[in-house]
Structure 1
């Protein structure tokens, strides 16, 4: 394969002769490339082999040879970039294209979608940012949660219909309201080949006591091999349901984790991570998976800056969205919303006057009016009137007064997000009308001093359409515990405890959602459309969009294309 150096040498010649065929002596090439006569001949021969030039040497000293350019500078760069992409070397392809993201996007289009490589079924998906935190013990965004569910297993899981199913535990039973017993599958192995032992499951579950959702775990023991007992400090009839949460995945012991565990985790799920960097995540089907081996051999997520869509296009050769609402597009609203989280404990909204002002001034409709129409259509957003689609909860109406002091506040949001910068700009514009300035904190994972933030722009990122998914979000993922007034949070968590204690009760989702809004803790902003375009699926079958905006890699397959041989 030609080297980047050869490309640079070609570009040097191309620029010197302005891309025009020319008569030249070998000494001219020596001077242009600053090399010896021998190296000049080698370089010219290699360029001819690549099909970039023709070099017709003239016989006799002092005679002019003929240099013919068969490719332009752009052609050579793109061809070299394509070769790098064939080898999965996205960074090198980016480099030979002079780090031009738009050029890389154009070249990379033909590499997306369903591919067949050496007899393997491969799907390449575009995404707009790296997926760098795949550790269930750390805060994970929506897409990371989806990938984690492909890598790890828990005691239980939800199927495509969001019904509770066995996973590492093939059965379970309540011994008492505060004592559950789980029966484990034997012979399960991690992606590195190590056997999953009962002791490892006990250790992983015991560590869950540090997670708010499972802080009531009293002890975890194993009375016999492949049996795990969990004792609780208070009754919980919903424990198997909540153990399907992403934070409850069973992890390999800490002593066996590598330094880059967040990037290259080891699980027991249907796919294992073989590569994860700034440009590409590669998942490979795990042949020793205890369930059905995935039919898709490899899934590659390619980071392309321009892919700012909530739609997943599984097999695009040209990922351009259809108009929304087409009959061939299977779309649904996300089960949560983007929202503003007010710091009612330490921030400016601890003052009731400020909290009331912000809820009225920064309402979803006020912000929606300021968002560019093109972005609204492209990103598929619409105003939210509650935490979930169909919920309608409003702040109590009263006379809103613009506070006099202070005149600045702080807003924090994820740096890499397609919608948040627009929301931030709209917030700044609205508050400026009342003479209030805004300082922004853009973060990747966490904010160093979260207590100084007044408003957070956040996504809910819940993993199912079930109302009880709000339990894990509220207790674990929302940060509301640290930003709310203690009495408020005790009331919300108390409602969840009551639901957990009573097996026949319905989850109080609407009651919690209403209280969060009316107490001026959260301001629902926008819902967005999630879906999979059937027109773009091609030969990929069963690609159903889930609540996280992706499809379950382990459930899809590629329909072969062949001639049947039957006459019409």
Structure 2
């Protein structure tokens, strides 16, 4: 990058005197810049013409001239970054920012939030951590789960109003043979982000690749085969009826990428840039549904600035603010809600912890002030008495005369609130004569956790997507927690029960049957929810169309900026 090279050379000239006037020969300046004397003369002339410095040469070979500086390298970098961002040159801005990454947020200040850049409506969001690769299948982070839904499409999608599956890549579908054959009729005008038409064969190929993944094999265990029964029709043949199938295909983990180009999708936005410091999406002009009004979304990632607090885009991961720290009072809370997702505790019954002792522990959590006195700021969490709205925690019988075991082990993973919850549990059990050993699994999911097979208690976070009942069914089918928590016979019985639930075509009956499964898990003190989060999004004036979705984000295709004046 030419600008970056010029800035580096200018900084080499500046450094020896920190900007004070210098007496130097051309040969000395050339050695400092690692170039020829002829080239350093060109550099001095160009820098003087740009208004960066003044060079007063002395006649005679080897004579010292006077070098005076009119701008500092920091100010020059700011100007260059502003010009790069104004002209939509994100990669140039990133390269310039690498010279001083700790100052990236200050340099970005005028460009955060909603801006019109080169007549392009752009939304820039500062974010607190690097984003993980947007690979197919299950993803642990809410931001990644949200992004794949903006970049890729599935055969079906969830209607945001009804949370029921509707057509996406498939215009519609039909079910025959008592639920054993599902015919999905593919739209004829689909295009990948690279401009190529979408073929039914490509969709079948990508679905086959997805179903080869072990975790997705569990989710689609009922699928026997997928055939192209018409140029625009994919037919799923099942081993046994599964009336969650349209839900499974609408899940973020089932969205379809190009079989040869995994970052190429068909969603409203295409992935333009995916770097550790910057992720940029641009609108897909051949999107098959409503076209977005924003033409670009950028995540500017500055994790080094969040070591003391989580900064502006995420004062907490559930609180998104599109703006700067000194402007937080001016931001408008545009949307908030209590998450359907929850933090939970599971209890493994064994010789160390029997059912009665497990019931007493749940009573200690929910019938004392333990949850209400968690020392957490900003009203981030809400203690709950329900797994989902209407799915109340069963009443526990009196158990005052039951003693806790002398020692137990608690295993937990992120989010950060569970650090506090683990310590509260340790202190509460110590007061009852039970020593709690606490083990932290530094991840957002249980995959690859060696202690999962031996811990007595496990705490984690269950994200809930657009269809809460289906999301919980997916949790029981696919999460590695359950085969470790339950005995072999219990887990086999659970899977058989889920197979029976999915055979019910009527949605209310299917949901009620699934509710019975979870009520049994809560009644036997195998599972209890702890608290929900308070999702919040704040934005500066002029950013419109922002409404929280089920993952605590907002649909980028609905956001818009007023026309630039």
Distance 1:348 1:464 in 2: 39
Inter-CA distance 176–31: structure 2 relative to 1 (3 Å threshold): closer
Q: 1:4·1:96 contact (CA, 8 Å) conserved in 2? A: no
Instruction: Report if aligned partners of 1:285, 1:298 keep a CA contact under 8 Å in 2.
Output: yes
Match of 2:343 among 338, 343, 353: 338
Cα gap change, 1:438/1:81 in structure 2, threshold over 3 Å: closer, same or farther?
farther
Q: CA deviation at 1:235?
A: 3.2
2:370 is aligned with 1:366: yes
Alignment partner of 2:302 out of 301, 304, 316? 304
2:473 to 455, 471, 474: 471
Which is worse superposed, 82-91 or 356-365?
356-365
Structure 1 350/537 Cα, relative in aligned 2: closer, same or farther at 3 Å? farther
Looking at structure 2, the residues matched to 195 and 286 of structure 1 have their Cα atoms a distance apart, in angstroms, of 13
Q: CA 1:22–1:129 in structure 2 vs 1: closer, same or farther (change >3 Å)? A: closer
The residue aligned with 1:565 is: none
Relative to 1, partners in 2 of residues 1:15 and 1:148: Cα closer, same or farther, differing over 3 Å? closer
Per-residue CA deviation, residues 178-221 of structure 1 (Å, 9 max, x unaligned), is 23333222242333444433344445556648533331223333
After TM superposition, give the deviation of residue 543 of structure 1 in Å. Answer: 2.0
Is 1:507 aligned to residue 511 of structure 2? yes
Residue 559 of structure 2 is aligned to residue 560 of structure 1? no
Work out which of the residue numbers 254, 262, 267 in structure 2 matches 1:248. Answer: 254
Which consecutive unaligned segments of at least 5 residues does structure 1 have? 563-568
Structure 1 counterpart of 2:385: 385
Counterpart of 1:484?
Answer: 486
- How far the C-alpha of 1:332 sits from its partner, in A, is 0.9
TM (normalized to structure 1)? 0.78
Stretch deviating more after TM superposition (219-228 or 277-286): 219-228
Pair 1:541-2:547 in alignment: no
Match of 1:566 in 2: none
TM-superposition CA deviations, 1:471-529 (whole Å, max 9, x none):
23333357434433455553486267336414152613654444333433334233222
1:372-451 maps to which residues of 2 (within 5 A)? 372-373=376-377, 376-377=378-379, 380-388=380-388, 392-393=392-393, 396=396, 397-399=398-400, 401-405=403-407, 409=409, 411-414=411-414, 419=417, 423=421, 435-443=435-443, 446-447=447-448, 449=450, 451=452
- Contact in 2 for aligned 1:313/1:319 (Cα 8 Å): no
Look up the match of 2:167: 166
Q: 1:9 to 1:353 in 2, by over 3 A?
A: farther
SS in 2 for 1:218: strand
CA distance in 2, matches of 1:323, 1:357: 47
Paired position in structure 2 for 1:129: 129
Distance 1:431 1:226, change over 3 A: same
Residue of structure 2 equivalent to 1:498: 501
Q: Is 1:156 matched up with 2:156?
A: yes
Distance 2:201 2:352 in 1: 47
Match of 1:196 in 2: 198
Q: What is the distance in 1 between the residues matched to 2:298 and 2:501? A: 43
- Is 2:225 aligned against 1:219? yes
**8 Å contact from structure 1 (residues 355, 520) kept in 2:** yes
Offset at 1:333? 0.9
Deviation at 1:546, TM superposition (A): 0.6
Aligned CA distance change for structure 1 residues 555 and 31 (closer, same or farther; 3 Å): closer
Residue 186 of structure 2 is matched in structure 1 by: 184
1:108 aligns to what? 108
Change (3 A) 1:30 1:273: closer
Q: Alpha carbons of 1:75 and 1:119: their partners in 2 closer, same or farther (altered >3 Å)?
A: closer
- Give the aligned CA root-mean-square deviation in angstroms: 4.0
Deviations 1:134-161 (A, max 9, x none): 2342344322221111222222212231
Residues 410, 436 of structure 2: 8 Å contact kept: no
Alpha-carbon spacing, 1:283–1:493, altered in 2? closer, same or farther (3 Å): farther
CA–CA separation in structure 1 for the residues paired with 2:484 and 2:199: 36
Q: Distance in 2 between matches of 1:537 and 1:419?
A: 31
> Could you tell me which residue of structure 2 aligns to residue 33 of structure 1?
32
Does the residue aligned with 1:336 lie in a helix, a strand or coil?
strand
What is the DSSP-based 3-state SS (H/G/I as helix, E as strand, rest coil) of the residue aligned with 2:175? strand
Deviations 1:434-479 (A, max 9, x none): 5544333313774253635635543322222654443233333574
Aligned counterpart, 2:238: 232
**Residues in 2 aligned to 1:402 and 1:195: alpha-carbon distance in whole angstroms:** 64
Closer, same or farther: CA 240–38 of 1 in aligned 2, 3 Å: closer
Deviation at 1:300, TM superposition (A): 1.8
Contact 2:360 2:399 in 1 (8 A): no
Contact 1:285–1:297 at 8 Å: present in 2 too?
yes
d(CA) in 2 for partners of 1:388, 1:381: 15
Contact 1:111 1:317 in 2 (8 A): no
Partner of 2:267: 269
Contact 2:149–2:252 (8 Å) recurs in 1? yes
CA 1:341 to 1:348, structure 2 compared with 1: closer, same or farther past 3 Å? Answer: farther
Q: 2:340 aligns to what SS in structure 1?
A: coil
**Counterpart-to-counterpart distance in 2, 1:6 and 1:420:** 49
How many positions carry a matched residue from both structures?
Answer: 535
In structure 1, the residue matched to 2:534 is: 529
Judge conservation of contact 1:132–1:276 (CA < 8 Å) in 2: no
Q: Helix, strand or coil: the match of 1:333?
A: strand
Q: CA deviation at 1:548?
A: 0.9
Q: Is the CA contact (8 Å cut-off) linking 2:374 and 2:424 kept in structure 1?
A: yes
Q: Secondary structure at the match of 2:126?
A: strand
Q: Structure 1 pair 488/212, CA: closer, same or farther in 2 (3 Å)?
A: same
Higher alpha-carbon deviation: 285-294 or 61-70: 61-70
Q: Structure 2 CA distance, aligned partners of 1:537 and 1:72?
A: 34
* Residues 157 and 168 in structure 2, CA contact (< 8 A), matched pair in contact too: yes
